[in-house]
Amino acid sequence: MSVQWFVVGISGATCSGKSTLADMLHKKFPTSIMLRQDDYFLPSDDSRHIKIQELNHMNWDLITSLDMQKMYSDITKILQSPGKNTANSKLLLILDGFLLFKDKTITDLCDSKYFLTLTKEQCWERRKNRLYDPPDVPGYFDKVAWPEFIKYKNEIMENNELYKTITFIDGSKDMEKIYKMVSNEVGQLLC
């Protein structure tokens, strides 16, 4: 029996619930595999990082701050593998990333795409107490994180072909309701 992989991509605003949703799906579908874009950041001393002079800090919110070739390579290895569950011919790969749909090669592998949104105020309320490594410097959210998200969201909205394939979700809504909707859709596609 050949294995068919079903790939779910979850992207959106920082602190919008992407990882929480991905974790919930991964728990519901125990044979699933999950990859997080955050695991592909280049080392902080990598010369490819773009420095924001006025903040004396790297811009971690650019696709060039990530090793997307490595992520794509890891995804293709998984998709070419026989999978963990030989009893089921369909297996689930969950991709979680704040800039996931900026990489066309990865976006094209996603069978379902979800994009969580927040207002700037909601996003800041969630992000201001979060600890990052390296930590955000004062002004980073307003000068970098939020503007880069808006740029990313606008690119998606202007790409009609991509836009039509994405389900947009208000990340301020109850996570349990978001999870039920997404897990029901994924469950039906895995049947």
The yes-or-no answer on residue 38 being catalytic is: yes
Q: Are 124 and 141 in contact (CB under 8 A)?
A: yes
47 Cβ partners below 8 Å, 6+ apart? Answer: none
| Closest to 116 (Cα-Cα) out of 184, 164, 168 | 168
Phi and psi, residue 160, nearest 5°: -55, -40
Taking CA atoms, 81 is separated from 40, 77, 156, in Å, by 21, 6, 31
Active-site residue, selected from the candidate residues 38, 74, 111, 136: 38
Q: Catalytic residue positions?
A: 38
